[in-house]
Amino acid sequence: MFDNLTAKLEGVFKKLKGHGKLTQQNIQEALKEVRMALLEADVNFKVVKDFIQSVEQRAIGQEVLGSLTPAQQLIKVVREEMTNLMGGGEQKIHLSGSPPVPIMLVGLHGCGKTTTAAKLARYFKEQKKRPYLVPADVYRPAAIDQLQKLGEKLRVDFYRPEASQTPLEICVKGREIALKGGYDLMLIDTAGRLHIDEALMLELREIKNHLKPKEVLLVADAMTGQDAVTIAKNFDERLGVDGVILTKMDGDARGGAALSIKAVTQRPIKFIGVGEKLDALEAFYPDRMASRILGMGDVLTLIEKAEVAFDAQQAKELERKIRKDSFTLVDFRDQIQQVRKMGSLESILGMIPGFSKMAKAAGGFDFDGKELVKTEAIINSMTPKERTNTTIINGSRRLRIAKGSGTTVQEVNHLLKQYTQARKMMKRFTQMGEKEFRRGGTPFFS
CATH number at residue 40: 1.20.120.140
**218 within 8 A of 243, measured Cβ to Cβ:** yes
Q: Domain ends where: 252, 270, 296? A: 296
Model confidence pLDDT, tens digit, residues 125-163? 988 899 999 999 888 878 899 999 999 999 999 999 888
Instruction: Please report which confidence band the pLDDT of residue 276 belongs to, taking 50, 70 and 90 as the band edges.
Output: confident
Which residues, at least 6 apart from 213, have a Cβ–Cβ distance to it below 8 Å? 102, 103, 104, 188
Residue with the bigger pLDDT between 380 and 369: it is 380
Model confidence pLDDT, tens digit, residues 380-396? 999 989 988 888 999 99
Phi, psi of 104 (to 5 degrees): -110, 125
Domain of 9, in residue numbers: 3-85
Give the span between the Cα atoms of 82 and 61, in whole angstroms: 18
In this predicted structure, the answer to whether residue 363 has a pLDDT above a threshold of 50 is no
Q: Give a three-class secondary structure readout of 284-332.
A: CCHHHHHHHHCCCCCHHHHHHHHHHHCCHHHHHHHHHHHHCCCCCHHHH
Helix (H) / strand (E) containing 272: strand 269-273
135 in the same domain as 67:
no
Give the span between the Cα atoms of 107 and 271, in whole angstroms: 14
396 in the same domain as 427:
yes
Q: In this predicted structure, what is the pLDDT of residue 440?
A: 45
Give the span between the Cα atoms of 167 and 341, in whole angstroms: 36
Q: In this predicted structure, what is the pLDDT of residue 209?
A: 92
Which residues, at least 6 apart from 144, have a Cβ–Cβ distance to it below 8 Å? 135, 137, 138, 160, 161
CATH number at residue 391: 1.10.260.30
Q: Reply yes or no: is the peptide bond before residue 213 cis, omega within 30 of 0.
A: no
Q: How many domains does the chain have?
A: 3
Give the span between the Cα atoms of 77 and 127, in whole angstroms: 35
The one-character DSSP state at 343 is -
Residue with the bigger pLDDT between 341 and 121: it is 121
133 in the same domain as 263:
yes
Other beta carbons within 10 Å of 198 = 8
Q: In this predicted structure, what is the pLDDT of residue 430?
A: 57
Model confidence pLDDT, tens digit, residues 202-256? 889 999 999 999 999 999 888 887 888 888 888 898 888 999 998 888 776 566 7
Q: In this predicted structure, what is the pLDDT of residue 358?
A: 47
216 in the same domain as 347:
no
Residue 357 lies in a domain: yes
Q: Domain ends where: 296, 320, 344? A: 296
312 in the same domain as 286:
no
Which residues, at least 6 apart from 232, have a Cβ–Cβ distance to it below 8 Å? 218, 220, 241, 244, 261, 264, 265, 267
**186 within 8 A of 178, measured Cβ to Cβ:** yes
Burial letters for 216-226: b for 16+ Cβ neighbours within 10 Å, e otherwise?
Answer: bbbbbbbbbbb
Residue 375 lies in a domain: yes
Q: In this predicted structure, what is the pLDDT of residue 351?
A: 54
Q: In this predicted structure, what is the pLDDT of residue 349?
A: 53
280 in the same domain as 193:
yes
Q: In this predicted structure, what is the pLDDT of residue 67?
A: 62
406 in the same domain as 331:
yes
Instruction: Please report which confidence band the pLDDT of residue 271 belongs to, taking 50, 70 and 90 as the band edges.
Output: very high
**246 within 8 A of 258, measured Cβ to Cβ:** yes
**204 within 8 A of 188, measured Cβ to Cβ:** no
Kindly report whether the global pTM for this prediction surpasses the value 0.85.
no
Task: Work out the percent of the chain whose per-residue pLDDT is above 70.
Answer: 75
Name beta bridge partners: 132: 186
Give the span between the Cα atoms of 81 and 66, in whole angstroms: 19
Q: Which amino acid is at 50?
A: D
Give the span between the Cα atoms of 348 and 360, in whole angstroms: 16
Residue 371 lies in a domain: yes
162 in the same domain as 146:
yes
Q: In this predicted structure, what is the pLDDT of residue 350?
A: 56
Q: Residue length, the chain?
A: 446
Q: Which of 272, 279, 308 is closest to 293 using CA atoms?
A: 272
Residue 91 lies in a domain: no
Tell me the mean pLDDT in the region 343-351: 55
Tell me the mean pLDDT in the region 43-55: 88
251 in the same domain as 149:
yes
Q: What is the mean pLDDT of the chain?
A: 79
Which residues, at least 6 apart from 435, have a Cβ–Cβ distance to it below 8 Å? none
Q: In this predicted structure, what is the pLDDT of residue 300?
A: 53
In the chain the first and final C-alpha atoms are separated, in Å, by 34
Tell me the mean pLDDT in the region 304-309: 53
130 in the same domain as 72:
no
Q: Which amino acid is at 38?
A: L
Could you tell me the CA-to-CA distances from 355 to 185, 290, 324, 347, 365 in Å, in that order?
A: 39, 16, 32, 11, 11
Which residues, at least 6 apart from 245, have a Cβ–Cβ distance to it below 8 Å? 105, 116, 217, 218, 219, 220, 269, 270, 271, 272, 273
Residue 53 lies in a domain: yes
Model confidence pLDDT, tens digit, residues 20-43? 667 778 778 888 888 888 888 888
Give the span between the Cα atoms of 251 and 247, in whole angstroms: 9
Model confidence pLDDT, tens digit, residues 412-443? 998 888 788 777 766 665 555 544 434 444 33
Residue 443 lies in a domain: no
Q: In this predicted structure, what is the pLDDT of residue 289?
A: 82
401 in the same domain as 283:
no
Q: Domain ends where: 268, 296, 324? A: 296
Residue 261 lies in a domain: yes
Could you tell me the CA-to-CA distances from 107 to 158, 161, 228, 408 in Å, in that order?
A: 21, 21, 10, 48
Residue 95 lies in a domain: no
73 in the same domain as 113:
no
